[in-house]
Amino acid sequence: MLKAAMAGIAAVCLLSGCGRSISSTPGDAPNLNSWVEEVRARPAPPLDPLPVMQQFESFEYSAQNLRDPFSDRWISESGNGGLRPDPNRRKEPMESFPLDGLNMVGSIGSGAGLVALVLGPDKVTYRVRAGMYMGQSDGRVTSVHEDRIELVELVPDGAGGWLERPASIALDDQ
């Protein structure tokens, strides 16, 4: 019983020390109240000045009379002379290979009778003369020289037409 009484007295002493911090009234914090009043009495800090607005130069659009790039009307007006691959032409054996897969390995003859020897990816050597076709882009051989073959390919221009693109195959020096 003595232990219980001692515990009760100790609890009352501990709680009496905490009594002041538990109950807080406006009169208990005079320093806080004076600080808040002092901060409220200060003048407001000045505002940053407004940024200066830049004057932009006006631009007058003057391309109203030019062709509209988003209409399909100009495709028919391009007038490329009807340049297009011949769908009825019989394909030659070397048209099944891309140009970068063909290697010129030599030539036979001279002058107008010059014939180029071209090794295909199928390890077959083909004879090439001017006027023949090779490559996958309808490449027509325009001339055969001792060190190269010159040709013109037909490639789509992206607008429904066709463009001629020069190409060549040089003699493979091994």
- Residue scoring higher pLDDT (26 or 111): 111
- Residue scoring higher pLDDT (169 or 6): 169
Tens of pLDDT along 78-119? 455 568 888 888 999 999 999 999 999 999 988 878 999 999
- Residue scoring higher pLDDT (42 or 5): 42
**Sequence ranges of the domains in the chain:** 93-170
| CATH no. of 93-170 | 2.30.30.830
Mean pLDDT in residue range 49-73: 81
- Residue scoring higher pLDDT (14 or 125): 125
Give the pLDDT confidence score for residue 22 in this predicted structure.
Answer: 45
For residue 83, which of 2, 3, 154 has the smallest C-alpha distance?
154
- How far apart CA 157 and CA 63 sit, in angstroms, is 24
- How far apart CA 109 and CA 100 sit, in angstroms, is 25
Query: Quick check: 70 pLDDT over 80?
Result: no
Angle at 151 between CA 150 and CA 155, to 5 degrees: 145
Query: Quick check: 24 pLDDT over 70?
Result: no
Give the pLDDT confidence score for residue 152 in this predicted structure.
Answer: 94
- Residue scoring higher pLDDT (143 or 29): 143
Tens of pLDDT along 108-167? 988 878 999 999 999 999 999 999 999 999 999 999 999 999 999 998 888 788 889 999
Q: If you search the block for the tokens 């691959």, which residue do you land on? A: 85
Query: Quick check: 67 pLDDT over 90?
Result: no
- How far apart CA 71 and CA 77 sit, in angstroms, is 12
Query: Quick check: 73 pLDDT over 70?
Result: no
pTM, whole model, 2 decimals? 0.52
For residue 144, which of 124, 115, 122 has the smallest C-alpha distance?
115
